[in-house]
Amino acid sequence: MEENWMIGDLHIHSRFSRACSTSITFENLVKWAKIKGLHFLGTGDFTHPFWFKEIEQLRDNGKGIYYYQDFPFIITGEISLIYTANEKGRKVHLNLLIPSLEIAKKIHEYLDEKGFRRDYDGRPIFGISCENFTKDMKSISKDIEIIPAHIWTPYFGVFGSKSGFDSLKEAFGSQFKEIYAIETGISSDPPMNWRITELQNKAIVSFSDAHSFWPFRLGREATIFKKTDSYLELIKQIRENSFIGTIETNPAYGKYHYDGHRNCNFSCSPKKTKELNGICPICYQKLTRGVDYRVHELAKFQEGFQLPNGKLFYTLLPLHELISLKTGVSMQSVKVWNIYNDLIKKFENEFNILLDISKEKMVSEKVDLKLIDLILKNRKNKIRVKPGYDGEYGIALIDEKQSTLI
């Protein structure tokens, strides 16, 4: 990694969001972010009253960056918009970046005045359209950044097969130009998004949507910015598409990459789905169509298209996954954790290991040769993954054996 790089994960959640670890605290987030090799985080869940009280305890540098001890955060939160447009139910998740505590409080007032509850979940649901919500946020502050989250997931992505739109323009209408970036999500990567014409002029960022602080979740996807201690400079990098690049997982890792039915233990490629006329051969109901199918459906450019000015991106599986593959045991087992902790002691943080440490250095530190081989293959995206589908994570493959990514 270069000295002027700053790796950030700006889409996470607190313990006040459903299906999230009850042990998420700023202390734990900072501890594991440093072990991962992240340089800053989003707070997540700024709309929740209890979590916001903790956000208010962070130290403000006067430039929109807030510190827990020596570690920087910016104020962020995910919003769920559920409404009807063109006689179709829509469910769209947006990730918001907020310039200050004062602006966050104004957003709270706006939501409260409309009668929306903020106290039942860290990812609250509001019955307002993407267009109107964006317009209202921009009337509060032009410095609020609105990023459509995990844009391809079937149920809550702006392009989702179940309740999304066919274009950002359709979703955001008059506010289309106020959307400067989209988030890839675990099931897509930059080349998949380059195939969509209207996304070629949008920044492509990547964040984890982590529901815990563990390093196989936190920072599994992240964006590499140029170093800054200013919120406005950070937003400028997004709006001008001048940041360095992203860290992605293999899209097949994601829960919704392929089509299928989890309950039927059946999955297939978009090509096979078309052969089946979209019907599951087990239960004869409609298949849940995943991200890969949806991209093919909306793409104007062929698979493999390279955007001339496309940004740098790394495709990596988390280190826990690699150790699990090597050992053949669960990535949350004591054996995997012991190996992981030993590697962190030797090489400082996970991103150092995944991206930088040389083979010679690992050999000299007596790292297992099979694990070194996996680390080096991972850097080149050479580890095969059987695609995830219908809510099931993908399965990494090694020596024709399989290890479930959980």
pLDDT of 310 above 90: yes
pLDDT of 400 above 50: no
360 CB neighbour count, 10 Å cutoff? 9
- Give this prediction's pTM: 0.95
**Tens-digit pLDDT profile for residues 107-135:** 999 999 999 999 999 999 999 999 999 99
Reading phi first (left if > 0) and then psi (alpha if -120 to 50, else beta), residue 69 is in: left
In terms of C-beta density within 10 A (0-12 exposed, 13-18 middle, 19 or more buried), how is residue 382 classed?
exposed
Inter-CA distances, 221 with 149, 236, 254, Å: 13, 21, 11
**Tens-digit pLDDT profile for residues 250-259:** 999 999 999 9
**Tens-digit pLDDT profile for residues 133-148:** 999 999 999 999 999 9
Beta carbons within 8 Å of 164's beta carbon, 6+ residues apart = 90, 91, 92, 157, 158, 171
pLDDT of 404 above 60: no
Q: How confident is the model at residue 398 (pLDDT cuts 50, 70, 90)?
A: confident
pLDDT of 402 above 60: no
CB-CB contact of 276 with 253 (8 Å):
no
CB-CB contact of 260 with 292 (8 Å):
no
- The CATH number of domain 5-252, selected from 3.20.20.140, 3.30.310.50, 3.30.499.10, 3.40.50.20: 3.20.20.140
pLDDT value, residue 403: 46
Domain limits of the chain? 5-252, 319-382
In terms of C-beta density within 10 A (0-12 exposed, 13-18 middle, 19 or more buried), how is residue 102 classed?
exposed
Mean pLDDT of the chain: 96
| Alpha carbons 127 and 114: distance in angstroms, whole number | 10
